[in-house]
Amino acid sequence: MMNSRIVPFIIGVATACGLPVILLAIATGLGILPVQADVAPSSLESSVLRAALHASVARHAPRGGNPQPLPETDSTSGAEIYRQLCSRCHGLTAQSDNTYGKSFYPPAPHLPAHGTTFTEGEVFWIVKHGIRNTAMPAWSNLLSDDDIWKVAGMVQQINSSRESP
C-alpha cells in the first residue's frame, strides 16, 4: 500500500521540478528569451542574477579585508588608479556623468553616488577576476595584487564617506 503512494508522489515531484526546466530549455532553444541590452530585465531575472553574483563573490573573495593596512600614500595611489581605470564606467564623483557606465548591461554601478554593498575583500576579488557577461574586466593581468587592494581600499573609503553625516 505504501509503495503505491510513493511512486505517484515521486512522479509528481519530478514533473513539478522538471517541467520548468524543460520549458526554459525550449524557450532558450527557440530564442524567445530577451537578450538585448537596451531593454530592462524582468525583476525576477534581476533578483536571481543579483543573488547569484553576491553569493558567488562572497564564496570566492578573500576574508578579512586587506592583508596590509593602507598608508596614506597607498590611498592616494588607489585613487589615482581608480581615476585612470575605473572612473569612466563607475564615475569620478557623485555628481559626475555616468552615461557610459549606464549604457552597459547590466549597468556599471555609479560608485561615488551609490557606493557598494560588497566588502573590501569582495571588491578586491571582483576587480581581480572581473564579472562574466558584464563589461567588468579582470584587471589581474594589468594590476598587481597590491594595486588591486589599493583600489578596493579606495572604494571602501567612498562607502565610508557616504555613510558619514
DSSP per residue, 42-102: PHHHHHHHHHHHHHHHHHHSPSSS-SSPPPHHHHHHHHHHIIIIIHHHH-SSTTS--HHHH
Which cell goes with 116? 557598494
**Rounded Cα gap, residues 90 and 6, in angstroms:** 55
| Average pLDDT of span 9-19 | 87
DSSP per position, 119-163: -HHHHHHHHHH--TTSS---GGGTS-HHHHHHHHHHHHHHHHHHH
Whole-angstrom Cα distance, residue 137 to residue 129? 7
Task: Write out pLDDT tens, residues 63-119.
Answer: 877 887 666 666 788 999 999 999 999 999 999 888 899 888 888 999 999 999 999
Q: What is the pLDDT of residue 73?
A: 62
The CA–CA distances, whole Å, from 101 to 2, 60, 116, 149 equal 60, 25, 15, 22
For the chain, the domains span 1-33, 57-163
Is pLDDT at 165 greater than 60 in this prediction? no
Contact 62, 121 (CB under 8 A): yes
What pLDDT score does 2 carry? 58
Q: Which CATH architecture has domain 57-163?
A: Orthogonal Bundle (1.10)
